[in-house]
Structure 1
Amino acid sequence: MRDDPRRPPVSPALALILLVVLLLSSSMRCAAATDPGVRCSRSCVAENCNSIGIRYGKFCGVGWTGCPGEKPCDELDACCKAHDECVEKKGLMSVKCHEKFKSCMRKVKKSGKVGFSKECPYETAMPTMLDQQLKKMGNDVYQSCTLTFGALLLSRSISLPNLKPTWKSKACNTASGVHKGGSFLQSLGAGGIAMAAGTDLSSPLGVLDGGFMSKDAGSSGSSLDGQDLGTPEATKQMKAGKPPRHLSAIRHCASTAQLDISAESELDIGGLSLKSSSDRRSEFFPVLRSGSCAEIGPKQSMEDEHICVDNLVDHLGHIANVASPGAFYGVFDGHDGTDAASFIRKNILRYIIEDVHFPNCMEKAIRSAFLRADHAFADAHSLDSTSGTTALTALIFGRTLHIANAGDCRAVLGKRGRAVELSRDHKPNCNIERLRIEKLGGVVYDGYLNGQLSVARALGDWHMKDLKGAACPLSSEPELQVTTLTEEDEFLIMGCDGLWDVMTSQYAVTIARKELMAHNDPERCSRELVQEALKLNARDNLTVLVICFSPNPPPRIEFARSRVRRSISAEGLNSLKGILDSNV
């Protein structure tokens, strides 16, 4: 049907707005349609609620770019909103709020109304999206889409300050490689908006089979309950001559690494750009100090190793041109002797500094150093050596924290009393690791890799002919996490699995913060964490590092008083008095 000739003409301003919207729509559809990985990624972006919900990025988004399988996430938004309202009323640590949220999420998943496709299923996509984004984009840009003007405009784009230019460069990202859904920044050419075409976003919630945490597994980072080590399953493992495989080994199988988006972010309407609250705190500069404690526990021998270097300039001298201040920390949980753990502790920092990519592309340098250390250990010892080790390292330059992990040690950031896990436990029965293992010809039997090893990633163990080597199930490649420290980041806890088998990340942060407020001594704090683990019947070696980012103790957390005041009228007071008098 032809247009009505009497219809009034469209104003130039409205026509310009419509043109910009159409151009954005076309650009976004083209960008998403050109790369299957991008299309898969954007189809899968379906939730961005923080594990504790309130005020930490409670928006949720699905990019609506015309890709197959994309669906809106109104139901998911409703879950987020209900959780926030519950937390507002009952408090941040309310178990009921978290249980209701998980139940709501299960219903949304079963409804099929969230955009997941066969190429990018829920169980595979959700645990990895944010993790891959942080690793491959170097924490440079964190974005999400929301349904605005038909979901054609980006609603969030937060650039983190004081990063080296090479971290933002295409060359560095190219050298680092791109995982599924990863892509470089692409300019849309309208309003100065830039988007990461393959940006992966994931929920920081723990994930088990089916994508959700079971009731038995608990909630990592939100539950304060210790683990029952006297379960029949643990007894069965002990009788079989294997270390007990606690529920915590299953509970922590998903990435809970998270990048917080604060509601304090500012929007510059004129330039269509967003300014993060971290920009306003750019004057923060960490003052590093650390303490450590290692305890043999109930084991017959001590196989853990660790390293604490608070000042790389003093430690290395003129060997390398390192930024100041710089620091390096590591925890190495050995098995079948200390050969591997001791070798990695002595050499891993040197391999990082000597790498050709240092310091321009830190991710590439750290990844290369882990692989080099693994092969160097084989050369220095024998391929028949049964010794192996996990490795967790933290490298700090200025405000940038680089976490690298291969194994089941864990790094947890204390952020104003809240636990933020910066590493993922590499257990064989985790969905991500199980898929990788089975793809490479391995099997997971009773929670063990090929029935032999309780971790999916480790250095050493070269005697395992079917597990070790190129394209083999046992990997020495670390997972990396990059974080820009702010004044809210108070301390970092690094520990072996002996600690995390008996306490949650949040419980450890709560204890550490309380002790630091009392005496402000990180070494004493690490000892108290070890003692607490022993009280909880830890059954392994214990190694704990506490790294503080300020010379001052953590401040008291002040909660704003509610604006709602309840009062009773004089009439009501007299009525109540009469009722009480009549009952006497």
Structure 2
Amino acid sequence: MRTARKGSVEMPAFVRQLVKETEKRVSSFFKGGRGGAAEGEQQGEGEKEEVIPSPYLDRPVLDKLTEEGCARWGLTYALGSMQGWRANMEDFHNCVPQLGGELADWSFFAVFDGHAGSTVAQYCSQHLLGHILASGGIGPEDDPEKVKGAITEGFLQTDKHLHSVARREGWERGGTTVVATLISPYYIYFANCGDSRAMLCRSGQVCFSTEDHKPYSPLEKERIESAGGSVSFQRINGSLAVSRALGDFSYKGAENRTPSQQMVSPEPEVCVVERSPADEFLVLACDGVWDTISNEELCAFIHNRLRVCTDLRDVCTQVIDLCLYKGSLDNISIILLCFPGAPQLSTDALHQEAELEDLLESKVAEIYDELCARGEEPELLSVLTVLASTVIPGLPPGGGIQSKRNCIISAYYQQRDAHKPMVPNVSENYN
């Protein structure tokens, strides 16, 4: 697969400025709402206004972390993760394809999307599974109700222990969403706490997906307000964009209320789906993915990619690039789990893929030559703009032209290099 040059992705200047100005205004507003404005009014003339650093970079960090593995019962998996436009990487993960012992045919995977720092996400990625297993509800009998209870208890215990560490280490501001799956020989258990999401594809269609926990959801909003909070700008107290998370203890101080009744609840929503031979693949991903692509689009895209690519890490990388090119400004992390029934490599699909890439290369060359003939500078953005308005048959479903942007960029640079004037070798001419 062709890859884009690192310098080829840039946020348009007006978008970058809009993002920065919006972040500055919103941050200043909420800072004032907590007393910051009053403090600013009392500053002396010689004191400078506090500069709030932007959470976004001028260019995205495109380096990707990838991981792959398999379980003895036929599961294969891969992870892909990228910092992207965010100033810091706050995503963590946990991949355990085999739990071991009497649970050797069980698997656990989770994505942790941290906010206000990465510390809580890192801590939970190291301790959540241990607390789930320590609850005692998971065993070879595979009782769905016991397992669901064990998962919930594991989350609550993780949050409880985290609170002790947070008070000692000063982590009160940090938190993390979690989406996890526990796969047994007979069931797939889903646990979601926040706005990361899991999606199961069966027979080529979305079979199940978790529900995001947002403050404006009716039941979540009711709990928030009952705990003394409010929802404005679709955020808790105008600040936090998720209504369930581990950590975030500054939102968990309401007296005479259980942990699950606080403004931010650490209780996951746990669901169970009976396994089927028709199960193809399962995705766990942070909101950096779901902000730009729907369940159905991602299901169709991965289903298509698995027919032309055997490296699951490459599939994850393609999903990350697709989300980036669709406009994701967040960290992007995805775990792809493939069951024995996943789509297999197809000769016909490979042939169609090769034809598509040849077509795109010829289209890029055609557009490049047309721009040159009109006396226009054939910049990459100009080529992409023309190509985006062109009907291209055979594009990957769910991905569209954005999913082949790396191929297009590679073809563009080939054209640019081919049109460069030849520079004579001075030493050869001299000799």
Structure 1, gaps ≥5 residues long: 1-229, 243-284, 557-584
The CA RMSD measured in Å over matched residues stands at: 2.7
| 1:544 corresponds to which of 305, 310, 334 | 334
Q: Tell me how far apart the structure 1 counterparts of residues 134 and 89 of structure 2 sit (CA, whole Å).
A: 30
Residues 494 and 407 of structure 1, relative CA distance in 2, 3 Å threshold: same
- Amino acid paired to 1:348: L
In the alignment, which residue of structure 2 is the partner of 1:447? 234
Deviation at 1:436, TM superposition (A): 2.3
- Amino acid paired to 1:373: T
Alpha carbons 2:252, 2:264 under 8 Å: kept = no
In the alignment, which residue of structure 1 is the partner of 2:147? 362
Q: Tell me how far apart the structure 1 counterparts of residues 123 and 209 of structure 2 sit (CA, whole Å).
A: 25
Alpha carbons 1:357, 1:365 under 8 Å: kept = yes
| 2:25 corresponds to which of 240, 244, 261 | 240
In the alignment, which residue of structure 2 is the partner of 1:292? 79
The DSSP-based 3-state class of the residue aligned with 1:298 is strand
In the alignment, which residue of structure 2 is the partner of 1:343? 123
In the alignment, which residue of structure 1 is the partner of 2:158? 373
Q: Tell me how far apart the structure 2 counterparts of residues 482 and 447 of structure 1 sit (CA, whole Å).
A: 29
| TM-score, structure 1 normalization | 0.45
Q: Which has the higher contact order (CA 8 A, sep 6+)?
A: 2
Alpha carbons 1:370, 1:477 under 8 Å: kept = yes
Structure 2, gaps ≥5 residues long: 1-14, 28-71, 347-431
Alpha carbons 2:252, 2:262 under 8 Å: kept = no
In the alignment of these two chains, the number of paired residues is 279
Q: Tell me how far apart the structure 2 counterparts of residues 337 and 413 of structure 1 sit (CA, whole Å).
A: 30
* Structure 1 position 504 matched with structure 2 position 294: yes
- Amino acid paired to 2:106: G
Residues 378 and 466 of structure 1, relative CA distance in 2, 3 Å threshold: closer
In the alignment, which residue of structure 1 is the partner of 2:379? none
Deviation at 1:450, TM superposition (A): 1.5
The DSSP-based 3-state class of the residue aligned with 1:337 is coil
Deviation at 1:241, TM superposition (A): 3.9
- Amino acid paired to 1:541: N
Q: Tell me how far apart the structure 1 counterparts of residues 204 and 74 of structure 2 sit (CA, whole Å).
A: 19
List per-residue Cα deviations over 1:43-91 (Å, max 9, x = no partner): xxxxxxxxxxxxxxxxxxxxxxxxxxxxxxxxxxxxxxxxxxxxxxxxx
| 1:436 corresponds to which of 209, 218, 223 | 223
Residues 369 and 288 of structure 1, relative CA distance in 2, 3 Å threshold: same
Residues 286 and 427 of structure 1, relative CA distance in 2, 3 Å threshold: farther
When you count strand as a share of all residues, which structure comes out higher?
2
- Amino acid paired to 1:295: M
Deviation at 1:417, TM superposition (A): 2.1
> 5 Å matches for 1:451-530?
451-464=238-251, 466=253, 470=258, 471-530=261-320
Q: Tell me how far apart the structure 1 counterparts of residues 293 and 20 of structure 2 sit (CA, whole Å).
A: 19
* Structure 1 position 382 matched with structure 2 position 185: no
Alpha carbons 2:111, 2:285 under 8 Å: kept = yes
**Percent of residue pairs bearing the same amino acid type:** 29
The DSSP-based 3-state class of the residue aligned with 1:293 is strand
List per-residue Cα deviations over 1:150-190 (Å, max 9, x = no partner): xxxxxxxxxxxxxxxxxxxxxxxxxxxxxxxxxxxxxxxxx
When you count helix as a share of all residues, which structure comes out higher?
2
In the alignment, which residue of structure 2 is the partner of 1:425? 212
Deviation at 1:498, TM superposition (A): 0.6
Q: Tell me how far apart the structure 2 counterparts of residues 501 and 534 of structure 1 sit (CA, whole Å).
A: 11
List per-residue Cα deviations over 1:362-383 (Å, max 9, x = no partner): 0110000000000111112326
| 2:107 corresponds to which of 327, 330, 344 | 327
